[in-house]
Amino acid sequence: MICENDLPMAVTGKNSRGGLIGTILCLFVGFVLRLAIILNQPNQLTEDRDVYLGIATNLAEGRGYSVPNSTSPTAFRPPLYPLGLAAGMMWFSPAIVVAGINLLTGVCTIWLTIGLGERLQLGSLRFVAAMLTAVDPLLVLYTAQPMTESLCTCLATLWLWSMMGLSMVGVARQDHSQRPVDSLCTGIVFGLLVLCRPAFWLIPLVWGFGELLGIAIRERKSPIRRWTRFPSVFATWASAGVGAMLVVAPWLIRNGIVFGVPILTTTHGGYTLLLGNNPVFYQEVVMQPWGTVWERESLLGWQQELESQIVRDLGAEASEIQRDQWHSQQAKKAISANPGLFIAAVGHRIRSLWNTVPQGDATNSTRGWGLQAVGLFYTAVLLAGGSGVILALRRADRRQWLPLYVLIASVQLAHLVYWTNTRMRGPLTPAVALLAVSVIPRRPSLTSR
């Protein structure tokens, strides 16, 4: 639950002067960099690649959550970001709303990273992690675009912070660690997160498997004690589930009414599965040297042929749900027909998620020295983060780090099979930064002694 005792010390006034200066510096740097990219690329603010602005415009103009420039209902994109845009567009221009939401959530992410560092007892290194988040090239770049990176990263970081406040992750809070309302609030945050990016629905599966496995291993010599642990774990999860469903239920009910099917996620999943698993992608990207991108002309040609196939198979009036199912079926056929290429594509997606330099169109506006700088930055951070993963496992307080592992594992699992590029790891930035700074030897700060 969010209360004064949980807030980062810079906000409650319980930290040293040095801590306050560190907080202000991190927030200032993050704000200035994000504002600079917005001012430098103002046209990007309304370049609606993912049709979030189109859906938001329909909402603001009273046409409902529908396909842009129509009144046809859609569930192709998750609803949270368009709803936020639509609310702002009732008073301000689309460009101002995009800039405002992305800038605000970007700065909040930095602030929350400092709070995570406090809970992980990183001392002054929490400011290093926050600064890495503040200057992260991916997060800075996408601040100027109507895409979910900024909002999703903020919500993912808030979820991490909320999870660390629960007794189930071993944080020592004697005052109210067992209150169901804590789990309820964590569930609400999770509900917002999956309404922003549905891939995070894997979190409960990953966490649940790890929790049950951990109980079984820790209590393997005491079967009776093992089973007595399950009720408390179940109660915590039940409260979190209620919180999540309070947020997700309106989307579920709306889809049930509009489409006749209570769609929990979106009708976009089949397409993203097929986008990363089809013969053309295998031939033109996976089987080529690393760094080869899917050329725009080829991609457009594939999409046009795909549309023709859908019309032939389903007819021109096929619904979103029918199209989504058809896309999934075609992807499964491609995987079954070429299991070896699918495995190669999985490796390609892993490498793409953790790539250190931009590829494709992202390189057009970046000079050579800029690409090298970005590559060096990410190489250093990811190498340190990988070392931090191992180091945190050996720490006495390793359970406090568990939410970071769950978040990273969930994103990676989703992008083993679905279309992947480097920006998909944006929400992991604070977690990776915290793991990276954990390898640095440190002395406890005055606030943590």
Rounded to 5°, the CA angle 198-201-206 comes to 145
What's the Cα-to-Cα distance from 206 to each of 203, 259, 413, rounded to whole Å? Answer: 5, 30, 9
Structure tokens at 181: 């309302």
Contact yes or no for 157/116 (Cβ under 8 A): yes
- Taking 70 as the pLDDT cut, the residues of the chain under it are 1-15, 167-178, 214-233, 360-367, 443-449
| Number of other residues whose CB lies within 10 A of the CB of residue 149 | 23
Question: What pLDDT sits at residue 394?
Answer: 83
Question: What pLDDT sits at residue 371?
Answer: 85
Nearest to 399 by CA among 177, 208, 179, 164: 164
Question: What pLDDT sits at residue 180?
Answer: 78
Tens-place pLDDT, residues 194-213: 999 999 999 999 988 877 77
Total number of residues shown for the chain: 449
Cβ neighbors of 369 (< 8 A, separation 6 or more) are none
What 29-35 contacts at long range (C-beta under 8 Å, 24+ apart), as own/partner pairs, is: 29/131, 29/134, 29/135, 30/106, 30/107, 30/110, 30/130, 30/133, 30/134, 30/135, 31/103, 31/106, 31/107, 33/134, 33/135, 33/140, 34/102, 34/103, 34/106, 34/107, 34/140, 34/143, 35/103
Structure tokens at 179: 């209150």
Judged on CB neighbours under 10 Å (0-12, 13-18, 19+), 62 is exposed
* Amino acid at the residue 222: S
Contact yes or no for 236/166 (Cβ under 8 A): yes
CA distance 317 to 388: 52
CA distance 305 to 33: 42
What's the Cα-to-Cα distance from 43 to each of 2, 38, 102, 296, 312, rounded to whole Å? Answer: 37, 9, 15, 21, 38
Contact yes or no for 200/148 (Cβ under 8 A): no
Q: Which residues is 66 bridged to in the sheet?
A: 73
If you search the block for the tokens 């740097």, which residue do you land on?
29
Structure tokens at 207: 């966490």
Tens-place pLDDT, residues 2-60: 444 455 554 444 457 778 999 999 999 999 999 999 999 999 999 999 999 999 999 99
Tens-place pLDDT, residues 218-229: 666 566 555 556
Q: Enumerate the domain spans of the chain.
A: 4-448
CA distance 326 to 271: 9
What's the Cα-to-Cα distance from 131 to each of 19, 93, 175, 304, rounded to whole Å? Answer: 13, 31, 32, 44
| Number of other residues whose CB lies within 10 A of the CB of residue 347 | 11
| Number of other residues whose CB lies within 10 A of the CB of residue 274 | 25
What's the Cα-to-Cα distance from 407 to each of 7, 8, 244, 283, 438, rounded to whole Å? Answer: 21, 21, 17, 32, 17
The pLDDT > 90 percentage for the chain reads 75
Question: What pLDDT sits at residue 265?
Answer: 96
Question: What pLDDT sits at residue 345?
Answer: 98
